[in-house]
Structures are given as structure tokens and as C-alpha cells.
């Protein structure tokens, strides 16, 4: 990877080696002009710091050795900073995983199975990794997202919305011939989810090879947050990098069926966030009591996880403490104030990750912030609550006031 020493000619967050309309436009103009090849190369590196020498060679019609010569010349001129990643002043939290189109169908009355139900419909942007990234951006944290989208209108809309929210999508995949992922949730009249259907095979393209090609971006992050929409081999690669002393890694579960994507060896994992049903899927048995949950969390720690958080919906959360398990109740919210529970878990996870990214190792305080963010989210019709702002954690939470 190559890094320039100067301002961007245009917004690089909108440009990647997989979404390269601006690059092709530049190359087309350059081909009919007298711009020297070295200057063309410099502009390409400025527009996409993650471009490789081979990609530069292919795009410019040069040999690999000619590209290397131009790069060496630009480094001597101090116009490029070389191959080492240049850390930004504030290191970003890097979220890796799903970014899809969410559809919500909410019944207007009591849900009746096996028949048609009157309902209202809404469409928004979702995906666990994307939701966490947007929550982090609303909290004022620099964040980036590595995901995969189709080369379709939904993918373009997702990308534009994310970048408008302050999420850097440099390096994400844009796949021709593939449809952007979708998630459809059916909610009852009280806003509680009854069932959800997910079409997310697209994320199988986030392979170990793809992630290996994003090593500098991952190494430069203050924290890596991965959801379990990724293939198991990709999760294993992230765990291996973290175990070897790389960036701290948080894994967020997404569903019970996808718990089989979590490797048995969890060495290197700073934190695993999952709900009680997902913990039961990992354990292979029901966990009806706190003692059962404690035992299952100890097993995860024996497998290598440093800490575990188990969310229990509207009741609250468990989290590990040295040698034990701690319970925190959720905020009490009147049923009439609950608008939509979609996204509450992702808001919780984002607030916990926000705390870790600040260098705060107090997991109880992180979970209190998470519960605060989740409470704001369920009272909003949006998957990511606009009430989540950089100063939201400056005021004491209800638990802290007590």
C-alpha cells in the first residue's frame, strides 16, 4: 500500500479499487493528454491510498518495474511517504461485516399467524457492522467500514448514506452481478420482532484473502469490530492477527444460526458480544439460570476470549468480571414509549466499543453506556437514533444517578 503526502484531489472515501468511476474518468482524460506517467500514478495514489503496485501497472499500462521506479522517485521527492501506514491524528474504529437494506413490516394490530395482516412498511439502512459504525460516527468517533455491496441502486444508496454519516468506506467491495444484502423484519403491534429474514450470502466474499489485502487499514485502527456475517475463515484470520499483537478485536454475534462461524479457538479476542440465545447455540444447550450463563461464559474464556457480554433483551445484560459474572438491569421504559427495538443491540455494542476505543477498560461502565444508547434507540423510529450525540455520555445515566 502507498500513501501520499498532500491534500486529496477529491473525496477518497468515495473511491476504492472496486468503485473506481472517478479513477477511470481521470485515466481516460490522462490518456488523451500529455500528463506524464509519473504524475498520473501520483494522482491515482492520492485518490486511493490502498492501491497496489500491480493495480497501478494494470491501470496505467506500465510494467511493474516502471511503476516501482516512479514510486521510488516520488518517495525521494517526499511526495509519497512510502509503504508504512501513516497514522491519522485520531485512529478510526474499523467495523467489518454487513451493510444491507433493512425492511421493517409492523402489524397495525395483534399479529395473526398463517393469514394476511394489515401492516405499515418502512425501508432503511442496516447491517450489524454498518449500524455500529453509524452509531460510532454519531458519537463523534472516527470510523471506517469494510463491507460488500452489489453494483446496484441499493448499494449506491448505502454507500452514499454511510459516507454522508461520516463513515469511511475506502476499500469496501462493490461486486458486479450481485445484489446488495437485505434484511426483512416482521414486528408486532408493540414493536417487538416476531421473525426476520436475511439474504446475506454477499458477505462470503469478505474472504481471508480480501482481509489480508486490507492489513494496513486494519493495523491502523484503534479497534476492529467484526460481525459474524463474515465467513469462519475470515474470523479466524482476524483472531490470529489479534493474537499476534495486532489491533484489539471485538466480535459481535448476529444470529443463532451463524454462531457456527465463531471458531472454537478464541485466543486474541478482547470481547465477544452475544445474546442469550446465541450463547445457548454456542454451548449446545439451554441456559435457564445465571449459574448456567456463568459456566458458559467461563467456557468461552477458557477458549481464549478475554471478556464476554451476554445481552438479555429488555431485562438487561451480563458481563464478565475477573472470576465472576456481573448483572446490569436495562433502563425501565414504559411500553407506550417503545417505538421500535430494531437496532437497540447494535447501539449497545457501539457504545461498548466507543468506551474501549477511548481506552476505558471498565466493562461495567461500558455496559452502562450501552444500555443508555439502547434505551434511546428503542424510543426512536430509526435504526440509529438521532439522539445519540457526542455529549450523550457526559450526563450521568439513570444507574449512575441512583
**Which neighbouring-strand residues pair with 225?**
95, 250
* Greatest mean pLDDT among 89-103, 195-209, 291-305, 335-349: 291-305
Nearest to 310 by CA among 358, 270, 348: 348
What is the maximum span of the chain, computed from C-alpha positions, in angstroms? 74
The pLDDT, as a whole number, for residue 47 is: 65
Q: Greater confidence, 85 or 182? A: 182
β-partners of residue 317 are: 311, 328
Average pLDDT in the 241-263 region?
96
- Helix, strand, coil percent content, the chain, rounded in steps of 5: 40, 20, 40
Q: Region 8-36: what's the mean pLDDT?
A: 47
Residue 290 CB contacts under 8 Å (≥ 6 apart), including other chains: 318, 325, 327
Quick check: 210 pLDDT over 80? yes
Q: Higher pLDDT residue, 28 or 64?
A: 64
pLDDT over 70 (residue 6): no
Which pLDDT does position 11 carry in this prediction?
40
pLDDT score at 89: 47
Mean pLDDT, to the nearest integer, of 196-208?
92
Confidence of residue 50 (pLDDT cuts 50, 70, 90): low
Mean pLDDT is lowest, of 28-32, 76-80, 94-98, 161-165, for 28-32
Q: Is the distance from CB of 235 to CB of 251 less than 8 angstroms?
A: yes
Tell whether the model's pLDDT for residue 347 goes beyond 90. Answer: yes
Q: What's the topology of domain 93-401?
A: 3.40.1190
pLDDT confidence tier of residue 396, bands split at 50, 70 and 90: low
* Interatomic CA distance for residues 10 and 391, integer angstroms: 31
In the sheet that holds 223-227, the strands lie side by side as 167-168, 143-146, 93-96, 223-227, 249-252, 269-275, 307-311, 316-321, 324-329
Percent of the chain with pLDDT over 70: 85
| pLDDT surpasses 50 at 9 | no
pLDDT digits (tens, 9 = 90+) for 53-99: 888 898 899 998 998 888 888 777 667 655 533 334 468 999 999 99
**pTM of this structure:** 0.76
Name the β-bridge partners of 181. none
Amino acid at each position: 500500500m502507498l500513501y501520499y503526502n498532500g491534500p486529496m484531489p477529491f473525496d477518497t472515501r468515495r473511491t476504492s479499487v472496486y468503485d473506481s468511476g472517478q479513477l477511470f474518468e481521470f485515466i481516460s482524460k490522462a490518456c488523451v493528454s500529455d500528463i506524464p506517467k509519473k504524475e498520473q500514478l501520483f494522482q491515482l495514489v492520492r485518490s486511493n491510498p490502498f492501491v497496489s503496485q500491480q493495480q497501478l501497472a494494470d491501470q496505467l499500462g506500465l510494467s511493474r518495474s516502471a511503476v516501482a521506479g516512479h514510486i521510488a522517485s516520488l518517495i525521494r521527492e517526499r511526495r509519497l511517504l512510502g509503504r508504512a501506514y501513516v497514522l491519522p491524528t485520531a485512529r478510526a474504529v474499523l467495523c467489518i461485516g454487513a451493510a444491507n437494506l433493512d425492511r421493517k413490516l409492523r402489524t397495525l394490530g395483534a399479529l395473526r399467524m398463517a393469514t394476511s395482516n394489515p401492516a405499515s412498511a418502512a425501508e432503511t439502512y442496516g447491517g450489524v457492522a454498518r449500524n455500529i459504525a453509524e452509531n460510532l460516527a454519531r458519537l463523534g468517533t472516527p470510523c471506517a467500514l469494510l463491507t460488500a455491496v452489489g453494483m446496484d441502486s441499493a448499494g449506491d444508496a448505502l454507500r452514499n448514506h454511510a459516507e454522508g454519516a461520516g463513515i469511511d468506506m475506502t476499500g469496501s467491495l462493490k461486486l458486479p452481478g450481485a445484489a446488495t444484502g437485505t434484511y426483512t423484519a416482521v414486528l408486532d403491534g408493540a414493536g417487538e420482532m416476531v421473525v426476520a429474514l436475511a439474504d446475506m450470502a454477499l458477505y462470503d466474499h469478505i474472504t481471508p484473502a480480501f482481509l489480508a489485502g486490507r492489513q494496513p487499514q486494519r493495523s491502523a485502527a484503534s479497534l476492529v469490530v467484526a460481525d459474524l456475517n463474515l465467513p469462519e475463515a475470515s474470523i479466524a484470520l482476524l483472531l490470529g492477527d489479534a493474537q499476534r499483537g495486532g489491533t484489539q478485536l471485538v466480535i459481535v454475534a448476529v444470529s443463532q444460526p451463524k454462531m457456527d462461524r465463531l471458531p472454537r479457538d478464541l485466543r486474541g479476542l478482547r470481547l465477544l458480544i452475544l445474546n442469550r440465545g446465541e450463547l445457548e447455540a454456542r454451548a449446545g444447550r439451554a441456559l435457564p439460570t445465571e449459574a448456567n450463563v456463568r459456566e458458559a461464559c467461563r467456557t468461552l474464556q477458557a477458549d481464549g476470549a478475554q471478556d464476554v457480554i451476554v445481552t438479555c433483551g429488555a431485562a438487561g445484560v451480563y458481563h464478565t468480571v475477573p472470576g465472576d459474572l456481573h448483572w446490569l438491569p436495562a433502563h425501565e421504559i414504559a411500553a407506550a414509549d417503545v417505538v421500535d427495538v430494531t437496532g437497540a443491540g447494535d447501539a449497545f455494542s457501539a457504545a461498548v466499543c466507543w468506551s474501549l476505543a477511548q481506552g476505558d477498560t471498565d466493562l461495567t461502565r461500558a455496559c452502562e453506556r450501552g444500555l443508555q444508547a439502547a434505551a434511546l434507540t428503542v424510543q426512536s423510529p430509526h435504526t440509529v437514533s438521532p439522539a445519540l450525540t457526542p455529549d450523550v455520555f457526559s450526563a450521568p445515566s439513570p444507574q449512575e444517578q441512583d
